[in-house]
Structure 1
Amino acid sequence: MTGVADEVLLPGTRRALVRRLAVGQAEGRAPSMVAAVVRDGEVVWQGARSGMSGPAPDGNVQYRIGSITKTFTAVLVLRLRDEGLLDLGDPLEKHLPGTGVGEVTVRQLLAHTAGLAAETPGQWWERSPSSLRPGLADVLGEEPSRHPTGQRFHYSNPGYTLLGALVAEVRQASWEEVLRRELLEPLGLDRTTVQPLAPYAGGWAVHPWADVLLPEPAEDLGIMGPAGCLWSTTGDLARFAAFLARGDERVLSAESVLEMRTPAAPPDSPGLAAGDGYGLGVQIHRQGDRALVGHSGSLPGYLAALVLDVEEGLASVVLANCTSGAAVYSVAADLIETVAAAEPRIPAPWHPLNEVDPAVLELAGPWYWGTQVLALRPTAGGGVDLAPVDGVGRASRFRANADGTWTGLDGYYAGEVLAAVRRADGGVSHLDLGSFVFTREPYEAGAPVPGGVDPGGWRPLPS
């Protein structure tokens, strides 16, 4: 994604995007605001609005991205898991001893369910020298917990500081070095850095009642860096958004980035707005019928948002250089809605499978769970889809296993094993899925339906 293919969007769509960005910058009173829209991995639009003297910033100008950094840190942790160096259910103490909160798990830290405090003790850490917090004990303080572990979502910057320290401990290298070597360089994010690299936008506070500015300090966050230190550009974050949508085997598989985008915090947690969720380093938000994932970020002088609609193949990035006021997440979500509404995604052409196992093809068609009818369809690579025919109920995709079974990838049956159970003559008796029995006929006589099937069979209502 080195260029911007404006011509792929209609003129009316481009004008609507320009207007939304302009309204966001003007109403938010941001000194400058830059944005990009990505479709199917390619930048299809970028824009900028500036009230400062000189040329408007472009996709190569750095802004501080705050807590979007957490998503980068989460990727590094998932890499450790995928390499077998840790398990997400491991207590922190197993890999990073001596913190005083070692009973919390890696997963809980990733999902902000460890119960740790939102901020550090002492001075406002984002606006004070990192020398005040030289060690993890200074970040956590004497009372690091606010809630019982695992019971609710409670956003924690110290929690992601611990994850950064975990990465450094397991890799025996600094978090910054691991980030550069394992994520930034493979994805070509050469404008994403821990320290600002010119050209970059200066950070400003805008007076709430007057159109005047105050420069904000850009502190080195020290060991708090994994929670929010990074500087980046719309160009780099567009590449990162494409990675979060489909993975990259050099960094993290598509299956693992899907896991990041899957809710991990307790549903309806007191710490989350209705309909929202949090995955593993990824915020989850519903806007109408649209499922959005990504992350927002803020540090004194800067606001940032990275938002994806994976189903629509769209992503947007919005960056501003003001402490508050500019609704960058809303702007980013609206940019996606603008493109999706004006130019809905055109489906890829249907094409037949290159090959299919006859044993899998034999299973295609209707199956009954009790009286509900579901359709099983073979997919590429020997996988299958299983979904209610009427579209209401539990649907999942399954990947093939070497032993002839399948494992659920999403939905209610994620992680559950689907197996075709055969009779002595080799014919298929039924499907077994997490103890549920699926038969070729509703409550098929002779099938091993739990509780049995009434021998009198189906009958009309008695008069």
Structure 2
Amino acid sequence: MTASARYERVVRKAQADGRIPAVSVALHRADREPWVFTVGDSGNPDHPLNADTRFRIGSITKTFTAVLVLQCRDEGLLDLDDPIGRHLPVPAHGDALIRRLLSHTAGFQREPYGDIWDTLQAPDPTEVLAQLDRAERVLPNARRYHYSNLGFAVLGQLVAKLRGGSWAEVVAEKVLGPLGLGATTLNPPPQAAVGYVVDDFSDAARPEPQTDLGGVGPAAQLWSTAGDMATWGAFLAHPATVDPGGKVLAAATVDEMRFPATVTHEAVWQAGFGLGLIIEPQSRWVTHVGHDGAMPGFLASAYGRRGGEGVPAGLGAAVLGSSGTSRLIGDVVHELLKLAVELDPADITPWTIAAPAPREYRSILGHWYSEGTPFVFSWHDGALRARLTELPADSPPSIFEPLPGQPDVLRTVSGRETGELLRLTRDEAGAVVRMHWATYRVTRDQQGFDGGAASDGSA
């Protein structure tokens, strides 16, 4: 059975077992043409189900709002540790930090004031802010994870104010246009699928209303296709493959967004939350990063895969369904990402001879000790690296970059001790004979903290 046939079978089974009226899925990767598959009935007699059918993506919208916030930060319009009241005129909770709102740790209640899921009447952008004094702070700032649509509604009004337009205008101009996500829209186009609530005890299904979220739109308003959302998942995992020029966001900033700020449950560490992104650990060194979405009649998932052997660059997947009641949609996206690596791994690039390490760093290469523990320092892909000797070869190394104009002082830019300095000490001939990494002494022989050789035994 071909890889495509295996993918298709997974989707068909989920659609049948989950009793989902329409399912659209896509896989995106930098080294292959996109794979898109649909099964079911759109419920729209004028527009049968196909790859261009639009589905509500719900809270995947939050990832777009988060990117807009980080764009503002990178341009100096805000600091993530600013209180929201520094930028918005709010009647309450102005001390909530932007960073905490992004990671759902500001303690805001889940929804805006009022029973909007009963009335299906959402506040407009002005009302979202004006009614903050009627919304609870259900937890202290930074106490723990608590998911909040209200928090992201406020963040959406933040970027709108800083950019001088509506949130919808800003997301179209700053993200959708530059990435070519032309099928992602604020409102449902004519080819939109009908969303349903499927009866638990029969094969009946009831169409759900199409709700306009107004001022809560930055949390869950958007509609899209599986193809666009698989591309978006790839961007969140490997931005350089989708946005090589960094027009939307620098790759280093997306890295920052992916770093877990909190776990979603204190006892079961199955998922974390970064800056607007969900991080789901898979096997060793592998994570899926993205978001799920739910709106009346629709469930959606879009994720990219990072780490692990055989993972192609720019691997993203999306699963969109026209049922608000089948949680299988969220399982399929992770299964497809896993299968894509198992059935069609990235091509293996042949090893080739490269230039040697710069002369000033060659005396570093080899085995060293710090805190009595062995490390190996090496030069690969144009950078100095270090790894605990006992770790497997596929474990992420520490990578160093010299400070400008200071070749003997290097910054750890990834891996163990990220951010810390590595300072080199040389002998009269210029060879490195000792190093200090995060202030810990690094030596060629194994030493105690008093500087004595471990091989000497007791003093």
TM-score tier, shorter chain, comes to: 0.7 to 0.9
Which deviates more, 390-399 or 219-228? 390-399
2:430 is the alignment partner of 1:438: no
Deviation at 1:391, TM superposition (A): 1.1
Residue 293 (structure 1) aligns with:
289
Amino acid at match of 1:284: I
Shift of 1:365: 2.3
Measure the CA separation in 1 of the matches of 2:255 and 2:124.
38
Deviates more, 1:12-21 or 1:361-370: 361-370
Secondary structure at the counterpart of residue 68 of structure 2: helix
Deviation at 1:105, TM superposition (A): 1.3
1:227 correspondence with 2:219: yes
1:33-432 superposed matches below 5 A: 33-40=23-30, 42-51=32-41, 57-125=49-117, 128-131=120-123, 134-137=126-129, 140-247=132-239, 248=243, 249-265=246-262, 267=263, 269-270=265-266, 273-289=268-284, 290-311=286-307, 312-313=311-312, 314-353=315-354, 356-380=357-381, 383-391=383-391, 395-402=397-404, 403-404=406-407, 405-422=409-426, 426-432=430-436
CA distance 1:394–1:203, change in 2 (3 Å): closer
Task: Write the deviation string for residues 23-77 of structure 1: whole angstroms up to 9, x where unpaired.
Answer: 1111111110010112336444221110457675233221110110111111111
Distance 1:60 1:422, change over 3 A: farther
Moved more, 165-174 or 180-189: 165-174
CA deviation map 1:227-273 (0-9, x unaligned): 111111112112212222222311111111111111111x4743x84
| Segment of structure 1 superposing worse, 226-235 or 211-220 | 211-220
Q: What code does the residue aligned with 2:337 have?
A: I
Q: Give 1:138 deviation, angstroms.
A: 5.7
CA contact (8 A) 2:105 2:143 kept: yes
Asked if structure 1 preserves the Cα contact closer than 8 Å seen for 2:63 and 2:291, the reply is yes
Counting aligned pairs with the same residue, the percent is 33
State the Cα distance separating 1:424 from its structure 2 match. 6.7
Asked if 1 retains the 8 angstrom alpha-carbon contact of 2:92 and 2:133, the reply is no
* Pair 94,418 (structure 1): closer, same or farther in 2 beyond 3 Å: farther
Partner of 1:7: none
- Give the aligned residue type for 1:277: G
Looking at structure 2, the residues matched to 151 and 121 of structure 1 have their Cα atoms a distance apart, in angstroms, of: 22
Deviation string for 1:131-181 (max 9, x for gaps)?
A: 577512466352421111112111111111111111112222221111111
Q: Within 2, Cα distance between the matches of 1:220 and 1:358?
A: 63
Equivalent-residue separation in structure 2 for 1:293 and 1:427 (angstroms): 43
CA-to-aligned-CA distance 1:322-347 (integer Å, 9 cap, x gap): 11124211011111222222333333
Contact in 2 for aligned 1:29/1:326 (Cα 8 Å): no
For the structure 1 residues 426 and 184, does the alpha-carbon distance in structure 2 shift closer, same or farther, using more than 3 Å as the test? same
1:452 and 2:453 correspond? no
2:134 aligned counterpart, secondary structure? coil
Contact 1:119 1:156 in 2 (8 A): yes
Structure 1 distance, partners of 2:31, 2:268, is 30
SS at match of 1:158: helix
Cα separation, 2, equivalents of 1:351 and 1:251 = 34
**Structure 1 pair 70–52 and aligned structure 2 pair: CA distance change class (3 A):** closer
**How far apart, in 1, do the equivalents of 2:389 and 2:357 lie?**
22
Structure 1 unaligned blocks of 5 or more = 1-10, 444-448
Aligned-partner Cα distance in 2 for 1:73–1:137: 17
Distance 1:133 1:144, change over 3 A: farther
* Alignment TM-score, normalising by the size of structure 2: 0.88
Tell me the equivalent position of 1:22. 12
- Paired with 2:118 and 2:438, the residues of 1 have a C-alpha distance of 48
| Change in CA separation of 1:350 and 1:127 when aligned onto 2, cut-off 3 Å | farther
Residues matched between the structures, number? 442
CA distance in 2, matches of 1:225, 1:42: 34
Relative to 1, partners in 2 of residues 1:401 and 1:203: Cα closer, same or farther, differing over 3 Å?
A: farther
TM superposition shift of 1:193: 1.0
Match of 2:197, SS? Answer: strand
Residue 5 (structure 1) aligns with: none
Distance 1:165 1:255, change over 3 A: same
**1:79/1:252 contact within 8 Å kept:** yes
Contact 1:67 1:297 (C-alpha < 8 Å) held by counterparts: yes
Q: In structure 1, what residue type is equivalent to 2:325?
A: S
Q: What is the CA–CA distance in structure 2 between the aligned matches of 1:363 and 1:57, rounded to whole Å? A: 61
Structure 1 pair 461/439, CA: closer, same or farther in 2 (3 Å)? closer
- How far has the Cα of 1:205 moved from its partner? 1.4
Give 3-state SS (helix, strand or coil) of 2:456's partner. Answer: coil
Paired residues of 1:417 and 1:433 also in contact (CA < 8 A): yes
Segments of structure 2 that go 5 or more residues without pairing to the other structure are none
Moved more, 217-226 or 408-417: 408-417
State the Cα distance separating 1:21 from its structure 2 match.
Answer: 0.3
